[in-house]
């Protein structure tokens, strides 16, 4: 009986120990689970804090980029010429990123790249690529620069579109006379006609004297008004069969069919005097100016367009060299 009693106590103790161990395991499991949950919540909280910090940084960069984008766009919108757009971008980017040595080049320079320069490609649309190179490239925020370059490419496309439209147009937007491209097409036709008919044709190239001084003194708006005034004088001085065009900048060209060199010289002198005597009203200014003229004729001076233009250009150069406000003929010193 004694043995049976001990055995019963051992069995009871075994079951008590089993139950205790089971309960302990359950409590430890719960404690482990709670710790894991707490760690997960802590990790989630840290992730949220990190996300908020990153979001604030992104927002700050976005605001900063928007300001820079506005400043660059404002500068680039001032001109339609590609060279002016590129110069404006270069100057503005230099200010934004604090770089002093940067430029646009058509071919990448490995020598400069080896000497600490960084390089970024810039698309010019149908006109190929440019490369923006700068020293101290690590100062440039790459994300911001990517945004600014995208804006630059838009303005370069705008410039390209403007020039394509200009090429398609036959009249100059400022002066109202014909554009050079259309003028040269007509000159080619008239020269061919003159060869067939055996008649003469004269080509005149003229330049506004010291036009840069007018722009520098009074500004480009007044300079534009002067060009319009001179274009009006030229158009009013010609016959219906003659033609006037803006050759480029402050240069104009005239085509006089069925006109000999001597006759063209007389016309040129009359136009020169009219311009000299005119008072061109440009806003609040009443200006006077003079022109220098070079002329060449078929068949006396040349039989091809390029040669005719070259002879007139050289005659114009002589007129400038001899003191301006005069007419010089090709082949006559």
Tokens representing residue 252 in the block: 């104009």
- With both helix axes pointing from N to C terminus, report the angle between 82-97 and 2-76 in degrees, rounded to the nearest 10: 130
Arithmetic mean of pLDDT, 256-277: 96
Of 267, 249, 251, 269, the C-alpha closest to 259 is 267
Q: Using the predicted structure, report yes or no on whether residue 297 has a pLDDT greater than 80.
A: yes
Give yes or no for a contact between 152 and 76, defined as CB atoms under 8 angstroms apart.
yes
Active site residue 258: no
Q: Which residue would you say has higher pLDDT here, 158 or 67? A: 158
pLDDT of residue 81: 85
Mean pLDDT of all residues in the chain?
81
pLDDT of residue 13: 46
Give yes or no for a contact between 293 and 257, defined as CB atoms under 8 angstroms apart.
no
Count of CA atoms in the C-beta half-sphere (13 A) of 149 = 19
In the structure, how many helices (H) and strands (E) does the chain have? 9, 11
Residue 65: pLDDT band (50, 70, 90) is: low
Give yes or no for a contact between 290 and 252, defined as CB atoms under 8 angstroms apart.
no
Which of the given ranges, 95-104, 115-124, 150-159, 197-206, has the highest pLDDT on average?
A: 197-206
- 201 burial class (0-12, 13-18, 19+ CB within 10 angstroms)? buried
Q: Using the predicted structure, report yes or no on whether residue 293 has a pLDDT greater than 90.
A: yes
DSSP letter at 258?
A: T
pLDDT of residue 31: 44
* Range of weakest confidence among 65-74, 94-103, 128-137, 272-281: 65-74
Arithmetic mean of pLDDT, 213-218: 91
Burial 95-123 (b: 16+ CB within 10 A, else e): ebbebeebebeeeeeeebeeeebbeeebe
pLDDT of residue 250: 95
Q: Using the predicted structure, report yes or no on whether residue 28 has a pLDDT greater than 50.
A: no
| Cis amide leading into 120 (omega within 30) | no
Q: Which residue would you say has higher pLDDT here, 331 or 292? A: 292
- Largest pairwise CA distance in the chain: 156
Classify domain 178-329 at the CATH topology level. Alpha-Beta Plaits (3.30.70)
Distance CA 140, CA 146 (A): 10
Looking at 77-141, list the stretches that DSSP marks H as alpha helix, in order from N- to C-terminal side.
Answer: 82-97, 110-114
* Domain ranges across the chain: 75-168, 178-329
* Per annotation, catalytic residue among 250, 258, 277, 285: 250
Which of the given ranges, 2-6, 22-26, 110-114, 267-271, has the highest pLDDT on average?
A: 267-271
Sheet architecture: strand order including 251-257:
178-179, 243-248, 251-257, 201-208, 291-298, 327-329
Residue 119: pLDDT band (50, 70, 90) is: confident
Distances from the Cα of 225 to the Cα of 16, 28, 86, angstroms: 111, 93, 27
Which of the given ranges, 11-15, 218-222, 242-246, 281-285, has the highest pLDDT on average?
A: 242-246
Q: Using the predicted structure, report yes or no on whether residue 73 has a pLDDT greater than 60.
A: yes
- This model's pTM is above 0.85: no
* Range of weakest confidence among 39-48, 107-116, 138-147: 39-48
Arithmetic mean of pLDDT, 109-123: 75
């Amino acid at each position: 009986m004694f043995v049976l009693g001990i055995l019963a106590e051992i069995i009871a103790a075994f079951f008590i120990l089993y139950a205790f161990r089971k309960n302990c395991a359950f409590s430890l499991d719960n404690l482990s689970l709670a710790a894991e949950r707490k760690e997960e919540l802590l990790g989630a909280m840290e992730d949220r804090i990190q996300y908020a910090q990153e979001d604030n940084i992104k927002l700050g960069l976005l605001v900063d980029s928007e300001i820079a984008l506005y400043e660059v766009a404002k500068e680039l919108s001032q001109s339609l010429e590609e060279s002016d757009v590129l110069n404006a971008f270069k100057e503005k980017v230099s200010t934004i990123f604090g770089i002093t040595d940067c430029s646009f080049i058509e071919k990448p320079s490995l020598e400069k790249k080896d000497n600490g320069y960084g390089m970024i490609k810039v698309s010019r649309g149908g006109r190929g690529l440019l490369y923006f190179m700068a020293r101290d490239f690590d100062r440039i925020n790459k994300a911001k620069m990517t945004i600014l370059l995208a804006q630059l490419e838009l303005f370069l496309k705008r410039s390209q579109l403007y020039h394509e439209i200009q090429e398609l147009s036959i009249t100059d937007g400022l002066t109202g006379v014909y554009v050079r491209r259309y003028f040269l097409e007509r000159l080619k036709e008239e020269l061919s006609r003159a060869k067939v008919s055996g008649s003469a044709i004269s080509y005149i190239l003229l330049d506004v004297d010291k036009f840069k001084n007018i722009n520098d003194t009074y500004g480009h708006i007044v300079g534009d008004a002067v060009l319009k005034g001179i274009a009006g004088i030229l158009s009013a001085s010609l016959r219906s069969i003659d033609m006037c065009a803006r050759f480029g900048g402050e240069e104009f060209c005239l085509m006089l069919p069925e006109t000999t060199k001597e006759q063209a010289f007389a016309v040129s002198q009359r136009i020169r005097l009219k311009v000299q005597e005119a008072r061109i009203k440009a806003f609040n200014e009443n200006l006077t100016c003079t022109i220098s003229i070079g002329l060449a004729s078929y068949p006396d001076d040349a039989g091809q367009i390029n040669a005719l233009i070259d002879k007139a250009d050289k005659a114009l150069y002589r007129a400038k060299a001899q003191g301006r406000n005069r007419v010089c003929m090709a082949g006559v010193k």
